[in-house]
């Protein structure tokens, strides 16, 4: 099976660190829900929709390799969706472990898992269906970093959160004792730190990677695809949309000043971009992507 997988594309270098994207399974969601208040006549120019109005989205975790740590940001859809859920989401298989193997890594080599938040499309891979039946922690040696506010909401989800916080993704992890709760800001290693943002969910967090004068920031579901570069373009899935807008304005401005790459989890077309004034995309990664060529041309 592994032999027919394409090689992992070259990583985005940030000083001493490297960022890879691994396949956590694609799915299709309603385009209207992904673009909330934005009319379809506008969003479809930036993101193609199928006849049933769905759009293709990746769920691709970032693998950050630093001289001292191997860090995974979110975990993809996982392998626990039943056939009905696979049909609803038109999902493709979760290939995280076979892709780690292509990089010479095993499940035990992951030191840290950072969860931007606890929705099933981000946390689905932290607990996996075991070969012998039942569920097991996917990365048994890793510490799993999650904001305390997210953990509180996970323990007592509101009516809406119950739809996306799935106990099946956390039961084995909770009993493993491999969870560390973070309040606000936390330096994971010299190159990587996390910061609480709120917005999409109450305990949502961002990941900042800086090394050698270079910087990348992962805004998780505050900035799910390149087409959401207008701060006003928020999702119907955002729990606190006005907070998302404020966060985007604040972090776009702050990280633009550092000439940072903005990295994506859900974008099937490009992995990262740089932003100019008013959400204009000025550069993208990989440099050879069709979108990048079109924007440069």
Which residues would be at the binding site for Zn ion (CB under 5 A)? 121, 221
- Taking the C-alpha atoms of residue 275 and residue 279, their distance in angstroms, rounded to an integer, is 6
Nearest 5°: the CA angle 250, 14, 267 is 60
Q: In angstroms, what is the minimal distance from the CB of 34 to Zn ion?
A: 9
Q: Is the CB of 89 or the CB of 261 nearer to Zn ion?
A: 89
**Torsion sign across C-alpha atoms 130, 135, 141, 142:** positive
* C-beta of 121 vs 267, nearer to Zn ion: 121
Closer CB to Zn ion, 121 or 208, in the complex: 121
Burial of 90 (0-12, 13-18, 19+ CB in 10 A): middle
The DSSP annotation for 82-124 comes to -HHHHHHHT-----HHHHHHHTT--GGG--EEE-S---HHHHT
Q: In whole angstroms, how close is the CB of 120 to Zn ion at the nearest point?
A: 9
- Return the number of the residue (15 or 36) whose C-beta is nearest Zn ion: 36
Minimum distance of Zn ion from residue 147's CB (angstroms) = 16
Nearer to Zn ion, 121 or 150 (CB): 121
Residue closer to Zn ion, measured from CB, 15 or 32: 32
Q: Smallest gap, in angstroms, from Cβ of residue 155 to Zn ion? A: 20
For residue 274, the minimal CB distance to Zn ion (Å) is 22
C-beta closer to Zn ion: residue 89 or 292: 89
What's phi and psi for 171, nearest 5 deg? -55, -50
Report the nearest approach of Zn ion to the CB of residue 259 (Å). Answer: 26
- CB of 217 closer than 8 Å to CB of 206: yes
CB of 26 to Zn ion, least distance (A): 12
Continuous segment of H or E residues that includes residue 62: strand 62-65
Give 130's DSSP letter: -
Cα angle 286, 236, 96 (rounded to 5 degrees) comes to 40
d(CA 95, CA 23): 6
Q: Are 180 and 160 in contact, with CB atoms under 8 Å apart?
A: no
């Amino acid at each position: 099976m592994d032999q027919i997988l394409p090689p992992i594309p070259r990583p985005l270098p940030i000083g001493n660190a490297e960022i890879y994207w691994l396949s956590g399974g694609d799915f299709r969601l309603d385009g209207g829900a992904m673009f909330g208040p934005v009319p379809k006549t506008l969003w479809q120019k930036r993101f193609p929709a199928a006849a049933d109005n769905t759009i293709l989205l990746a769920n691709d975790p970032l693998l950050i390799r630093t001289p001292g740590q191997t860090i995974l940001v979110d975990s993809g859809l996982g392998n626990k969706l039943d056939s009905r859920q696979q049909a609803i989401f038109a999902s493709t298989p979760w290939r995280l472990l076979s892709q780690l193997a292509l990089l010479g890594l095993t499940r035990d080599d992951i030191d840290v898992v950072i969860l931007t938040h606890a929705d099933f499309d981000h946390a689905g891979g932290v607990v996996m269906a075991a070969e012998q039946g039942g569920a097991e922690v996917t990365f048994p040696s890793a510490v799993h970093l999650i904001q305390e506010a997210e953990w509180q909401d996970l323990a007592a989800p509101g009516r809406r959160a119950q739809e996306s916080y799935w106990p099946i993704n956390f039961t084995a992890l909770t009993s493993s004792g491999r969870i560390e709760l973070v309040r606000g800001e936390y330096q994971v290693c010299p190159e990587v730190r996390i910061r609480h943002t709120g917005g999409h969910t109450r305990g949502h967090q961002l990941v900042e990677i800086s090394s050698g004068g270079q910087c990348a920031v992962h805004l998780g579901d505050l900035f799910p695809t390149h087409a959401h570069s207008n701060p006003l373009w928020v999702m119907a899935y955002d729990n606190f949309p006005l907070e998302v807008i404020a966060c985007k304005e604040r972090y776009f401005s702050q990280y633009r000043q550092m000439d940072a790459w903005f990295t994506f989890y859900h974008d099937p077309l490009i992995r990262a971009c740089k932003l100019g004034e008013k959400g204009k995309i000025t550069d993208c990664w990989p440099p050879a992507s069709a979108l990048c060529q079109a924007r440069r041309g």
